[in-house]
Structure 1
């Protein structure tokens, strides 16, 4: 099976634009209280979000925010990987998002924005990025809720292995919308302050805006054109709880199966895992379920594997979470460092995980990225370092 390389990275988050700003902010453990959304019609108890800083006015201002974030992250990743050197009809785009630009539809329906010819279709992010890149091999958008961009990455890798494309820009994005913040308020899943995944006193998820993007191609293709390789996508595992519309199966059986499948495809064992970027939303049930699943896979060693609680810094990007977690894992492997975690007061005894607050050396091994979603959709990605 062809080895898949990650040759470009792009990020938009509350830390700003660019993979470099993202990495610096994560290294600095740059956490902050959530923003209060500037939306007087968000009449909910907790109108809170981690918002992307205001951006300068551009020619893209008529596009919805999720599409703009996708463009910024995707174009950064494309430039990083020098995608413009590749024949356009051999380049594809695959994106993932939960609600995309639902905000634009809300504004139009409320009479607060001019009606558009097309009311923010869910595939707009993929088509806009493909148009800007001139990508002629395909433009696909997935809406597998919070696992969407993780699935987008694996679909992109499969397109390359099947010969449908030589290079795929895979991305995920999310932006503020009233329907999202209202739904999470109604479910009682939203926290009132900073997210604290795996902490005894965790109180809920904090949603975040932004996007993550990676460029995929075979190792052989990357080497032939002299592209930098950050890491390799060595394996992936899909599963579904098939248990509940929104809640995970507390046993974590299918989440564990996805992790094992990713490791098996990578030709790795649980003992080879040196980093986990967990889904870790900060809700009681999701964190304890993921901890149970990881304990099933890794046993007592779970308490020694460094985890990084990315959502404690940038919030939960929903459909963009898998892509952003993959960007972080690739940067960790590239820099051979796992950034320290935002400290928590006390670890939940039901979550026997290792959350080092100081940077940890990462000389070799597998980095595992988890993303879970409503509908019971689970995906795990296994990354390894760049080939020597």
Structure 2
């Protein structure tokens, strides 16, 4: 099978532009992440949001600006000073809510659909290859990376820019508020006192290519995508399948190459989701160290799994699982190994990323050191 490698990373989060800004925040997480400010567009609501800094729009929308900035960083890190003027480079971009447009009365956004977002990013980057949009809700970034790897293995593209992006949306905030799924304090997955999630903004982009293509152009692989699993339980529009059977199926498929040394769970902070995911992870990958990323950046929707992939690559490169944001009170029903101190990653160990979504979509993928 064609080996698919990661050669570039790019990120935008509430901590700023760039993977380094994200990684600096990750390493300092033991001091607790800052509380998100109240949502500026819904006075009086419980909604808070981990807002990212405004991007340079260059004629694109705000979310496309996040994705374009992260893609340019990833391409530069991969050694692409200039993209090939042909159709060898594809784009696969996931999103929950798609682009946002400014309201006449202020700077807050309103939802448009996700279909136009990938096209806007491709136009901003000057891409000529295939462009795919993935709208599998909060697992979209994970689906995008798995689809990108499939395109490379099928010979449909030599290089794929893949990941996810999401920004502020009144529709998303209002929906979570109606479901009583927003935490009034901060995003605190697996905490006994968690009361929901807190939405975040940003983008995570990775450059994927075959190992042979990377070698031929003298690029240095950062990691390899060695396993992936997709499933859908179709149990309910928003509620997860109580038994977690399909989530477990995706995880088992992704970990066929071997058990991981670390897992980055979906971990939204909603009560039922965290309990079910904890049980499934204990069943499939018991003993792996866990790193809870959303506690640091909020729930970035379709960008979340791609941003987790960026952190997973950094964990592989440094050989250590970073400290988790401290819990106020661990939940005994969520028995994950969430250390508040840095933990060494065993030699040769892989890192698993798990994502699930409204509608029952599940995406899991396994990253390892490139050979």
Pick the TM interval, shorter chain. over 0.9
Q: Which of 250, 265, 283 is the aligned partner of 1:258? A: 250
| 1:8-27 pair list within 5 angstroms | 8-27=8-27
2:345 is aligned with 1:385:
no
For residue 351 of structure 1, what is the aligned residue in structure 2? 334
Count of aligned pairs:
364
Tell me the distance in 2 between the aligned counterparts of 1:222 and 1:386.
Answer: 11
For residue 282 of structure 2, what is the aligned residue in structure 1? 295
For residue 203 of structure 1, what is the aligned residue in structure 2? 195
* Unaligned ranges ≥5, structure 1: none
Residues 339-368 of structure 1: CA distance to partner in whole angstroms, max 9, x if unpaired? 110111322111111001111122321211
When the two chains are superposed, the root-mean-square deviation of aligned CA atoms in Å is: 1.8
Residues 231-253 of structure 1: CA distance to partner in whole angstroms, max 9, x if unpaired? 10011101111110001012111
After superposing the two structures, state which structure 1 stretch, 42-51 or 226-235, moved more: 42-51
Q: What's the secondary structure of 2:290's corresponding residue? A: coil
User: Is contact 2:136-2:361 (8 Å) kept?
Assistant: yes
Tell me the distance in 2 between the aligned counterparts of 1:47 and 1:59.
Answer: 26
For residue 262 of structure 2, what is the aligned residue in structure 1? 275
Residues 34-75 of structure 1: CA distance to partner in whole angstroms, max 9, x if unpaired? 122222xx25621310001245xx452x43211110111111
Tell me the distance in 2 between the aligned counterparts of 1:68 and 1:132.
Answer: 9
For residue 296 of structure 2, what is the aligned residue in structure 1? 313
Tell me the distance in 2 between the aligned counterparts of 1:175 and 1:88.
Answer: 31
| 1:58-69 pair list within 5 angstroms | 58=56, 60=58, 62-69=59-66
User: Is contact 1:71-1:125 (8 Å) kept?
Assistant: no
Instruction: Please identify which structure carries the higher helix content.
Output: 1
Residues 253-276 of structure 1: CA distance to partner in whole angstroms, max 9, x if unpaired? 111110001112xx22xxx31000
TM-score, normalised with respect to structure 2: 0.94
Q: What's the secondary structure of 1:172's corresponding residue? A: strand
User: Is contact 2:95-2:135 (8 Å) kept?
Assistant: yes
* Unaligned ranges ≥5, structure 2: none
TM-score, normalised with respect to structure 1: 0.90
Tell me the distance in 2 between the aligned counterparts of 1:346 and 1:145.
Answer: 30
Q: Give, in angstroms, the shift of residue 386 of structure 1.
A: 1.9
Tell me the distance in 1 between the aligned counterparts of 2:167 and 2:321.
Answer: 27
Q: Give, in angstroms, the shift of residue 137 of structure 1.
A: 2.0
